[in-house]
């Protein structure tokens, strides 16, 4: 991309091609180039000798290769429709990398697929879209997800639960303790408005740090809650 006039599309592991139809329409109407970006979580630190392979290295490589193939396939489909599309795969904190890539490419717009959830889930779900809307200096388009087709709910729900359990077991962290402490202090509701606001900012900071440091867990929670919300829970 040589200048403003392109769209950066944040693609995660659950993004299906039909969900990108609005991007196809937008790019076709505007002549914009499409930059497809998937941000993979960085490899977790592990104890032991520095050169020792971390647990799950083979699975990690297969996951990255699957994401790379997904991006290449979506770029090919855009190209078949006469829309120039370039795939990008990065590893690191999701929000920071999306914003830095948007700056590097001088994107005119950032597109992210949103998820429909009950209001009670809003703090920890749909975090990528909400964080981008709060922090991006460029326009952000949130594309609603495609509704789950009948017959696939049970398989998808079981798969998302298994993934959530796997990620929780892998990413046990003291960050949850910080988040819990911030929430507990917010419940105290001190007398002054200023003190209450200070605690509120601390809670927001704790949530944002957790979102940044644990994107795999956030996505896993997001997937489970997607099915729960579809069940009316």
Q: What is the pLDDT of residue 206?
A: 79
Structural domains in the chain, CATH included, are 6-144 (3.40.50.620), 153-230 (no CATH)
Sign of CA dihedral 25, 30, 32, 38: negative
Q: What is the pLDDT along the chain (233 residues), one digit of tens a residue?
A: 444 568 999 988 778 888 898 899 999 998 999 999 999 876 554 444 333 344 456 777 888 888 899 999 999 999 999 999 999 999 888 889 999 999 999 999 999 876 544 443 444 444 677 788 888 999 998 887 654 455 555 666 677 777 777 777 777 666 777 777 877 777 776 667 777 777 777 777 777 777 777 777 777 777 777 666 666 55
The label of the residue with tokens 């509120």 reads 200
pTM: 0.57
The length of the chain in residues reads 233
Asked whether the beta carbons of 8 and 110 are under 8 A apart, the reply is: yes
Phi, psi (rounded to 5 degrees) for 135? -115, -20
Q: Which two tokens stand for residue 140?
A: 């952000």
Q: What is the pLDDT of residue 89?
A: 93
């Amino acid at each position: 991309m040589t200048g403003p006039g392109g769209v950066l599309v944040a693609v995660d592991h659950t993004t299906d091609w039909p969900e990108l139809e609005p991007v196809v329409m937008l790019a076709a109407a505007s002549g914009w180039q499409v930059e497809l970006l998937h941000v993979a979580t960085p490899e977790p630190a592990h104890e032991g000798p520095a050169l020792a392979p971390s647990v799950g290295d083979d699975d990690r490589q297969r996951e990255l290769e699957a994401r790379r193939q997904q991006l290449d396939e979506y770029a090919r489909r855009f190209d078949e429709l006469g829309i120039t599309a370039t795939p990008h795969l990065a590893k690191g904190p999701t929000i920071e990398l999306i914003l830095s890539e948007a700056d590097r490419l001088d994107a005119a717009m950032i597109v992210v697929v949103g998820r429909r959830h009950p209001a009670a889930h809003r703090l920890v779900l749909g975090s990528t879209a909400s964080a981008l809307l709060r922090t991006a200096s460029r326009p952000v388009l949130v594309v609603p997800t495609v509704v789950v087709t009948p017959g696939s709910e049970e398989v998808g729900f079981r798969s998302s639960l298994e993934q959530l359990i796997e990620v929780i077991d892998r990413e046990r962290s003291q960050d949850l303790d910080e988040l819990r402490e911030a929430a507990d202090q917010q419940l105290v509701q001190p007398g002054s408005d200023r003190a209450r606001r200070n605690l509120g900012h601390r809670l927001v900071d704790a949530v944002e740090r957790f979102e940044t440091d644990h994107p795999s867990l956030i996505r896993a929670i997001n997937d489970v809650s997607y099915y729960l919300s579809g069940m009316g829970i």
